[in-house]
Amino acid sequence: MRRPGPNLARGIVTHIDRVEVDPVLAARQYTIYQEALASAGWRVYEVDPAPEHPDSVFVEDPVVVCGDLAVLTRSGAPERRGEVEGVEAAVRGLGLRVARIEASGTLDGGDVLQVGATVYVGVGGRTDEAGAAQLERLIKPMGREVRRVALGAALHLKSAVTALGDGTLVGLEELVDAAALPPLLRPREEPGAHVLPLGGRDVLISAAAHETVHELSGRGWRVLPVDISEFEKLEACVTCLSVLLPGR
């Protein structure tokens, strides 16, 4: 994870109107998110802050971790490319092998959804075909199959579709090319499309997804709701704030 900086309110918004962000409340919500991860047995490592980059708290985007390989990305938003430097130091410190997406390809980690050996890559927003092809070349030798998914009015693939721990995809089919995906479990509200599996039956979800919390609980999941309202004002969701490294 990476702490939000003082310029968080200047983060990029693409598909929603800009509204005022409370940086003090955001810092509190970040800490509570960390505590939720810890309650599920995760140990939190923090990347060095990058106060000059307003979106740097969304640490999912600069890196994709597949097994012991960390792929440093090259964002389709040029102003975010400097976020990679601190993330590289962190993943090297954790003993991961490192590769990177090279120019002129672009890839954001929020466009990469890993479900077992299948890796869905959203193409058409911050990620282009060249970036997807580079990722495919890097992870195919690891037994991963990459499938492209065309995006509609979604910032990232995981703005529309995420996955539960059993591989069930949860999402909004109208925001992506649903024909490229297995059948989706449609949530009862938009924030319910964003789930972060934490291992076993634990799943993190936005506290704004009230009905989805009840639905997933009824399906036997241990749901951990967290309030990330200040980050949601910047088109973020629960997956954006962390990168999970099982076994590290």
- Give me the active site residues, please: 156, 240
Residue 143 half-sphere exposure, CB side, CA atoms within 13 Å? 5
Q: Taking a C-beta distance cutoff of 8 angstroms, is the pair 85, 114 a contact?
A: no
In the numeric block, which tokens belong to residue 52?
């000059």
- Amino acid in the structure at residue 65: V
Q: Is 165 left (phi over 0), alpha (psi -120 to 50) or beta?
A: alpha
Report the C-alpha gap between 144 and 119 in whole angstroms.
7
DSSP structure class, residue 77? S
| Cα R_g (the chain), whole angstroms | 17
